[in-house]
A and B are shown apart, each in its own frame.
Chain A
Amino acid sequence: MLALLVGVLSSTGVYLLLRRSVLKLVLGIIFLSNAVNLTIFIAAGLVQGKPVFVSEDAANPADMADPIPQALILTAIVISFGLVAFTLALKYKYFSLSDTDDLDELKELEE
């Protein structure tokens, strides 16, 4: 079920990335990064209700969720936020220069 969700999310991401509109491109990036984060998360194995907090007495790693993917994803989320912000700024710049949302016109702009 979750696998299907990842599939849908990444399809959406890819589809949006292939649009000509820049805004959709940005949306696509968000979707794709979400999908990938989720993939990593799921791949590490799902453990319900056992966050990784160790205390002095009990520390049995087998009982807990895997902390590494979580740490990875945590940084990935923040990074993708930065990426989105940057793309938006780029898009704004592009729009203010070319007055269009169309990526294909980027080519004509170059020439």
Chain B
Amino acid sequence: MTILLLLSFLSAIWVPYMPKILNKYKGSVLASLPLSVFILTLARGTGLTGMTSTSTTYEWIPQLGLNITWTFDGLSYLFLLLVSGIGTLILIYANEYMKHYPDKDRFYTFIMLFMASMMGLVLSGNLLVLFLFWELTSFTSFFLISFKHEYEKARQAALQSLLITVMGGLALFGGIILIGQMAGSFEIADLMEKSGEIKSHRLYVPALILVLAGVVTKSAQFPFHFWLPGAMQAPTPVSAYLHSATMVKAGIFLLARLNPVLGGTPQWMILVSLIGGLTMFIGAYLSLTQTDLKAILAYTTVSSLGTMVLLFGIDTQASIEAAVLFIIIHAFYKASLFMIAGMIDHKTGTRDVTLLGELWKPMPKTFIFASLALLSMAGLPPMLGFIGKELIYEAKIQVPDIAIILMILGVGSNIFMVWVSTMLGYRTFIEKAGGMPKPPNENGWRMLLGPFVLVLLSLFFGLYPASISGFVEPAISTILREPATVYLSLWHGFNQVLLLSILTVATGFSLFLLRKKIIPVLKKINSALFSIRFADVFNKLIIGFVSLSKKKTAVIQHGYHRFYLMTIFVAATVLIWFQIYYTRGWNVDVEYTRQPYYVIALVIIMMGASLITAIAKSRLTAIISMGVVGLGIALLYLIYSAVDLAITQILAETLTLVLFVLVLQKLPRFARLSSRKSRIRDAIIAVAAGSFMTILVLKSFHVNYNHPISDFYVRNSLPGGFGENVVNVILVDFRALDTLGEITVLSIAAFGVYSLVKLNKLKK
């Protein structure tokens, strides 16, 4: 598994370096990779019961509980099949679709990266690793959505989706850490064992909310649903892939993964199913008034995702069954519909349903596939979608408390789905055309392959539902953590559920027939109801945040160097004074007797020189008095037994003077730049700072100070370092690494000076 994943990542990097001959067939060539993953997975999956799971663990940072664990169980099996299978079809499709796009390499690189991270996501058995891949999908999808980066809209949409998913990712990370804190492990297998402990922990609710925030943003749930339609700016293969099998399913996957860990509590049920229900309804409703093919599909996607979330929220065996099945159904029909939408766009030059029409004549095959996929979406027999919808209804009826609300929402959104499906099919393929930019013709086999395979599968599974249970059963039992058998059939017998289905379809159709009257009304309602668009609110928030930080920066980073310094000094002075005051209990007794008279004389001279420097009007005076101070310090070092220091100080002082003399020739005189007021203010600050230094030094006498380290150095200098000058031995032997660092810094400074001056020359 690791090898396959690595291979996927590597192949992404390899894309730009592929031989030129393959240029035309890059997509198809790359498709072989997910195809092999698909086949391998299928081979490994035979005999998988769902209770078995194989995992491989590599220790990464065991101290942090961070292991790379690949878990292969029912759930990852199903998702891996979806990701790789649909990935194969999409790549073949993209080969044709992206033929005339510039920067194909970039596209393939990112889509391969995305695919690889998605596979990593579904395979990871450690929450932290899962999070890593989660973020990777966010980033790569950002690049995919912004693929047409020359368009403002695409950039905006990409940024929006990135911000939202990453924000959600952050929340998720918080949630993961909380879970890790509660359970003491990030391994999902361990977490499942400790599920009860986690659920009764007081941090359970915050963790749940944080994790859900991640799911909600990733899977475009209300109120963060708006990034998904925005993300339609991506090239169609991307939309098809991201929104059918992968990106948005990542959230669903996480729900499924963590269901055994976090699920089953009232909080889980209410939160998850409420979010899901609302999203389901709103998504379906909003899709009605769209005219862009891809936008319609996007909103229906939102709705379907809502359905899945809802089903995981209900959290009964039936609902999980329905959810898992629905994941497959949705992936099948949504991928094919997106691909078809892309083809139509490709061939006619528009995706606007008001312009499209009568496409069944020029594109008969496309029409057939599309109508089958739409049948599945509407949940009509004989497609797999029908079975799915039946199951969903069944699951909803079973919910104890909120069944009625869910029922209304569910039936309502399904009605909308039927309506939108028929409308979509009718308006694109049958209705009279509104004037298409390009005359349409039939698509090539590479483009048709995807929808063909998917629709065929959907039909096949619809007719022989028993054949699919081999795929869903392991997943379901993984989630439920008990063996599950699923009996699926087209005909459930005449019961409540069937009645509901009939009702749904009938209402949907009749609404469709009345659409000319209803749609304008809906549009009006929409413009009144949704005058606040979530996307706009979001954008405003972002803009507001940016301008806030700009203002803040302008206040703090005002650009006056000396005020920065002043802030530092004032803060330091105040804090240290406070500390001195706080610990004033110490006695400060000054021993004047310590210094002989020549030291006192020296000190007085130095203080005088220092004051002269401070107030000097002439540069020369200032520099000379500075020199006096420097030499005075050297003398002090000498007096107090620091010979090396004294020599160094003298030499450095001399060189500094030379430097200053050099500078003086080229620079202006001191100007009296500051006002009297500011000088007094600065003087006060300076005196305050200076006095705390004084006290600090006085106090330092009283620190009970023994020098074990120094003793060590002194003792070992001769035997260990073969030197009698301890200071030097410290520098070049004991602490040589520090010295090495220091001379490196010096060299950097030298090159800095050099480049500053020479670059200046170049400019001139």
Task: List chain A positions with a Cβ less than 8 A from chain B.
Answer: 1-21, 23-25, 27, 30-31, 34-35, 37-39, 41-56, 59, 61, 64-68, 70-71, 73-75, 77-86, 88-93, 95-97, 100-104, 106-107, 110
Answer whether residue B530 sits at the interface, using C-beta atoms and an 8 A cutoff.
no
Chain B, interface SS category = helix
* CB within 8 Å of A: which B649-708 residues: 649, 652, 655-656, 659-660, 663, 666-668, 670-671, 673-674, 682-683, 685-687, 689-691, 693-698, 700-701, 703, 705, 707
CB distance from B513 to the nearest CB of A (A): 66
State whether B756 touches A4 (Cβ < 8 A). Answer: no
A52 to B490, CA, bound (A): 96
Cβ contacts B516-537/A at 8 Å (1 or 0 each): 0000000000000000000000
CB-defined contacts of B595 to chain A, threshold 8 Å: 1-2
A74 to B659, CA, bound (A): 20
State whether B562 touches A85 (Cβ < 8 A). Answer: no
State whether B667 touches A14 (Cβ < 8 A). Answer: no
Task: List chain B positions with a Cβ less than 8 A from chain A.
Answer: 558-562, 565-566, 569, 590, 592, 594-595, 599-600, 603, 606-607, 610-611, 613-614, 619, 622-623, 626, 629-630, 633, 636-637, 639-645, 648-649, 652, 655-656, 659-660, 663, 666-668, 670-671, 673-674, 682-683, 685-687, 689-691, 693-698, 700-701, 703, 705, 707, 709-711, 713-715, 717-718, 724-727, 730-731, 735, 738-739, 742, 745-746, 749-750, 752-753, 756-757, 760
Interchain residue pairs with CB less than 8 A apart (21): A1-B594, A3-B698, A4-B603, A5-B603, A6-B693, A6-B694, A11-B691, A14-B569, A14-B682, A15-B683, A24-B670, A27-B613, A31-B626, A31-B629, A39-B696, A70-B642, A75-B742, A88-B660, A89-B757, A101-B668, A103-B561
Per a CB cutoff under 8 Å, which of A14, A41, A71 touches B727?
A71
State whether B640 touches A30 (Cβ < 8 A). Answer: no
State whether A54 touches B757 (Cβ < 8 A). Answer: no
CB-defined contacts of A17 to chain B, threshold 8 Å: 562, 565, 569
Chain A, interface SS category = helix
Most B C-beta atoms less than 10 A away, residue of A18, A41, A75: A18
Given contacts A64-B714, A67-B710, A110-B559, contact A6 B642 (CB under 8 A): no
State whether A53 touches B756 (Cβ < 8 A). Answer: no
Nearest opposing residue in chain A for B667, CB measure: A95
State whether A56 touches B718 (Cβ < 8 A). Answer: yes
CB-defined contacts of B760 to chain A, threshold 8 Å: 93, 96-97
State whether A81 touches B698 (Cβ < 8 A). Answer: no
State whether A52 touches B725 (Cβ < 8 A). Answer: yes
State whether B690 touches A82 (Cβ < 8 A). Answer: no
State whether A54 touches B726 (Cβ < 8 A). Answer: yes
CB-defined contacts of A71 to chain B, threshold 8 Å: 727, 730-731, 735
